[in-house]
Amino acid sequence: MLKTMLVIGALAVSAPVGEVFGDVRVGEDYVKEAAVELKCGDEVVKGKTDASGSYRLTAKASGKCTIGVTHDGQTPTVEVVLFDKAARYRLVLEKKGETWTLRRV
């Protein structure tokens, strides 16, 4: 029993983890206290930008994922890739007509 628990614990420690961090802007202004959501397959990680528009999210998966930022009642998304090392994504919200879009810088 103890041996099984040690193996499970070792697997949990070595499980892949992907982390993204960065900031969100509209033009030159940082977006403060905005909801940020990272989706990797079935996993959803929710967070918020801080007072300086920065965010940091960690998922159990790696590979292709999407980040969504809620702003003015809309949640545009952009595709990102998570690696075993933290990846920085600076994000910019742009308004096209009545619709907000999100892009990486």
Of the candidates 26, 96, 59, the residue with the CA atom closest to the CA atom of residue 67: 59
* Structural domain boundaries in the chain: 16-104
Superfamily of domain 16-104: Immunoglobulins (2.60.40.10)
Residue-wise pLDDT for 34-90, tens only, equals: 999 999 999 999 999 999 999 999 999 889 999 999 999 999 999 999 988 999 999
pTM of the model: 0.82
Half-sphere exposure of 90 (CA within 13 A, CB side): 8
